[in-house]
Structure 1
Amino acid sequence: MTVKAILAQKGYDVLTLGPNEKLAEAIRILAEHRVGALVVTNSEGKIVGIISERDIVRVTAKHGAAALDMPVRDTMTPKVKICNENHTVNEIMEIMTAGRFRHLPVEKDGRLHGIISIGDVVKRRIEDVEREAEEIRAYIATA
Structure 2
Amino acid sequence: MTVKAILEAKGHDVFTLGPNEKLAEAVRILADHRIGALVVTNGDQRIVGILSERDIVRVLAKEGVGALEQTVRAVMTPKVNICNEHHTVNEVMEIMTRGRFRHLPVEKNGRLDGIVSIGDVVKRRIEDVEREAEEIRAYIATA
Question: TM-score w.r.t. structure 2 length?
Answer: 0.99
* Runs of 4+ with deviation above 2 angstroms: none
Residue 99 of structure 2 is matched in structure 1 by 99
The superposition leaves residues 54-104 of structure 1 with CA deviations (integer Å, 9 ceiling, x where unpaired) of 000000011101101000000000000000000000000000000000000
Residue 110 of structure 1 is matched in structure 2 by 110
Distance 1:138 1:89 in 2: 25
Residue 32 of structure 2 is matched in structure 1 by 32
Alignment of 1:12-31 (within 5 A): 12-31=12-31
| 1:120 has 2:120 as partner | yes
CA RMSD, 1 decimal: 0.4
Residue 55 of structure 1 is matched in structure 2 by 55
Q: Give, as a single letter, the amino acid of the residue that structure 2 aligns with 1:4.
A: K
The superposition leaves residues 15-49 of structure 1 with CA deviations (integer Å, 9 ceiling, x where unpaired) of 00000000000000000000000000001110000
Residue 9 of structure 1 is matched in structure 2 by 9
The unaligned stretches of length 5 or more in structure 1 are none
Question: TM-score w.r.t. structure 1 length?
Answer: 0.99
Q: Give, as a single letter, the amino acid of the residue that structure 2 aligns with 1:99.
A: G
Residue 90 of structure 2 is matched in structure 1 by 90
Q: What SS does the aligned partner of 1:93 have? A: helix
The unaligned stretches of length 5 or more in structure 2 are none
Identity fraction in percent: 80
Aligned length in residues = 143
Residue 77 of structure 1 is matched in structure 2 by 77
Distance 1:96 1:83 in 2: 10
